[in-house]
């Protein structure tokens, strides 16, 4: 009798040891608005298998194979059905389509090899976390090609969380060129003309609604833009300083840049490269007040060149005789100059003439 009981106990232990439960997400994504499916496979080993689901205190024991989905019951959003029974192996799915994740997040989806009230039941579970859709945060853009006729705007953006599709919009100088919904995260657009191209990408959630604000980026396909050229003259050092102000930060890369300065009597002529710099100084025996000069700035990119020129008239500024005599008289009468007198009698800085164009 004892031997029989031992054999029965060994058979039960062997059967339990060979039983297994596996639960995993097999379809869809755990996103608000998406249909997500979890599959549970229970292998009863040598015994007779059974399978049960439970979430938020609501349970379901699907019996009919490939029958209709049966809801767990409120507040759980899940429904379940058995999909296959092969001997002691039972396969079942649990499906959820959430419109609000707050009630479910942090709860567990459980699968068992029997009734949940049985002491011999083995339970496997996963913790649920459904995410809301997020907006596109960044657009990566690259302009491909060496000339206007070859330009292609290549754009990509990282996958947004729980975004099944994206709305892509392209305009040129605020005029619509392209508007489409895509599941891809990269796109190439063939440039047709110069202008400011604006690319906007919005993520779309599982309800078909745009999420947040679109991510945007711009590319200015145009000749270089010279905003202003300003100059100043230092009478002490006889130096002309020229500053070029352009919108280099929002335009195509500069391929060449040259600035030249020449006097009207052709006694002075100097060229400098301005590809990397925007501030220049010209000095020498040919730079003196009373003369007129002309500057020419030529900046090029792959689209075209922009040339800007203008005059620089150096007017001589002579100190008045009255001011000189009054200063000499004051300084001569001061035997022990005070701090104020010392400042007045110090050398006055040479004037600087500034001109903007």
- What is the token pair recorded at 224? 């270089």
> Tell me, what's the pLDDT at 250?
62
Find tokens 């049985």 and name the residue: 118
Q: For residues 315 and 232, give the distance between their C-alpha atoms in angstroms, rounded to a whole number.
A: 11
Mean pLDDT of 108-130: 89
Q: By three-state DSSP, how is residue 100 classified? A: coil
What percent of the chain stands above pLDDT 70?
81
**Residue 70 CB burial class (10 angstroms; 0-12, 13-18, ≥19):** middle
Question: Does the pLDDT value for residue 175 go beyond 50?
Answer: yes
CATH 2.60.40.10 fits 2-127, yes or no: yes
Mean pLDDT of 91-95: 95
**Among 66, 94, 92, residue whose Cα is nearest residue 79:** 94
Q: For residues 147 and 304, give the distance between their C-alpha atoms in angstroms, rounded to a whole number.
A: 9
**Among 207, 211, 209, residue whose Cα is nearest residue 35:** 207
> Tell me, what's the pLDDT at 17?
47
> Tell me, what's the pLDDT at 91?
94
- What is each CA distance from 30 to 69, 102, 163, 283, in whole angstroms? 19, 13, 12, 71
> Tell me, what's the pLDDT at 126?
95
In this predicted model, what pLDDT tens digit does every residue of 146-162 receive, in sequence order?
888 899 999 999 999 99
What percent of the chain stands above pLDDT 90?
47
- Of the spans 8-12, 27-31, 146-150, which averages the highest pLDDT? 27-31
> Tell me, what's the pLDDT at 252?
82
Pairing of strands 58-60, 52-55: antiparallel
> Tell me, what's the pLDDT at 121?
85
Note whether 315 and 354 are within 8 A (CB): no
Question: Does the pLDDT value for residue 341 go beyond 50?
Answer: no
What band does 329 get if pLDDT is binned at 50, 70 and 90? very low
Specify the DSSP element, H or E, that contains 2: helix 2-18
What band does 255 get if pLDDT is binned at 50, 70 and 90? confident
Q: By three-state DSSP, how is residue 5 classified? A: helix
Question: Does the pLDDT value for residue 353 go beyond 80?
Answer: no
- What is each CA distance from 334 to 325, 328, 346, in whole angstroms? 14, 10, 13
- What are the residue boundaries of the structural domains of the chain, listed by start? 2-127, 140-221, 225-357
In this predicted model, what pLDDT tens digit does every residue of 294-304 receive, in sequence order?
999 999 988 88
Q: For residues 28 and 36, give the distance between their C-alpha atoms in angstroms, rounded to a whole number.
A: 4
Order of all β-strands in the sheet with 35-43: 20-27, 35-43, 89-97, 78-86, 70-71
Average pLDDT value for the chain: 81
Q: Of 89-98, 120-129, 325-334, where does mean pLDDT reach its minimum?
A: 325-334
Question: Does the pLDDT value for residue 183 go beyond 60?
Answer: yes
In this predicted model, what pLDDT tens digit does every residue of 267-309 receive, in sequence order?
889 998 988 888 888 887 788 888 899 999 999 988 889 999 9
Domain 225-357 in the same topology as domain 2-127: yes
Q: What is the CATH number of domain 140-221?
A: 2.60.40.10
Q: Higher pLDDT residue, 338 or 344?
A: 338
Query: 56: which strand partners?
Result: none
Note whether 254 and 267 are within 8 A (CB): no
Q: For residues 109 and 307, give the distance between their C-alpha atoms in angstroms, rounded to a whole number.
A: 70
Q: For residues 167 and 201, give the distance between their C-alpha atoms in angstroms, rounded to a whole number.
A: 6
Q: Measured at the alpha carbon of residue 319, what is the angle toward residues 316 and 324, in degrees to the nearest 5?
A: 160
What band does 39 get if pLDDT is binned at 50, 70 and 90? very high
Looking at domain 225-357, its CATH class is mainly beta
> Tell me, what's the pLDDT at 46?
54
Question: Does the pLDDT value for residue 321 go beyond 60?
Answer: no
> Tell me, what's the pLDDT at 338?
41
> Tell me, what's the pLDDT at 248?
55
Question: Does the pLDDT value for residue 320 go beyond 60?
Answer: no
- What is the token pair recorded at 104? 């479910």
> Tell me, what's the pLDDT at 179?
97
What band does 119 get if pLDDT is binned at 50, 70 and 90? confident
> Tell me, what's the pLDDT at 246?
72
What band does 15 get if pLDDT is binned at 50, 70 and 90? very low
Q: For residues 81 and 60, give the distance between their C-alpha atoms in angstroms, rounded to a whole number.
A: 9
> Tell me, what's the pLDDT at 325?
41
């Amino acid at each position: 009798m004892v031997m029989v009981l031992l054999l029965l106990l060994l058979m039960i232990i062997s059967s339990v040891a060979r039983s297994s439960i596996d639960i995993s997400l097999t379809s869809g994504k755990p996103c608000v608005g998406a249909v997500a499916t979890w599959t549970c496979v229970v292998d009863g080993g040598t015994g007779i298998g059974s399978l049960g689901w439970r979430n938020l205190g609501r349970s379901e024991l699907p019996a009919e194979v490939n029958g209709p989905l049966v809801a767990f019951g409120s507040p759980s959003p899940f429904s379940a059905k058995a999909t296959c029974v092969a001997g002691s192996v039972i396969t079942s799915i649990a499906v959820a389509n959430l419109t609000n994740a707050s009630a479910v997040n942090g709860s567990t989806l459980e699968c068992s090899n029997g009734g949940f009230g049985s002491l011999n039941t083995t339970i496997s579970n996963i913790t649920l976390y459904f995410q809301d859709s997020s907006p596109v945060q960044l657009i990566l853009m690259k302009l491909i090609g060496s000339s206007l006729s070859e330009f292609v705007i290549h754009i990509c953006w990282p996958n947004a969380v729980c975004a099944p599709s994206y709305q892509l919009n392209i305009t040129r100088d605020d005029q619509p060129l392209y508007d489409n919904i895509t599941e891809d995260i990269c796109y190439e657009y063939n440039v047709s003309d110069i202008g400011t191209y604006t690319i906007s990408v919005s993520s779309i959630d599982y309800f078909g609604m745009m999420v947040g604000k679109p991510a945007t980026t711009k590319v200015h396909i145009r000749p270089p833009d010279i905003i202003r050229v300003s100059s100043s003259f230092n009478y002490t050092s006889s130096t002309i300083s020229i500053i070029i102000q352009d919108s280099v930060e929002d335009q195509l890369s500069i391929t060449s840049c040259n600035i030249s300065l020449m006097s009207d009597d052709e006694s002075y002529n100097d060229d400098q490269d301005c590809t990397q710099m925007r501030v220049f100084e010209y000095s020498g025996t040919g730079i003196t007040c009373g003369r007129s000069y002309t500057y020419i700035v030529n900046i090029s990119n792959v689209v075209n060149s922009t040339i800007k020129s203008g005059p620089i008239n150096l007017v001589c500024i002579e100190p008045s005789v009255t001011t000189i005599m009054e200063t000499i008289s004051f300084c001569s009468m001061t035997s022990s100059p005070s701090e104020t007198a010392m400042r007045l009698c110090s050398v006055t800085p040479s004037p600087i003439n500034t001109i903007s164009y």
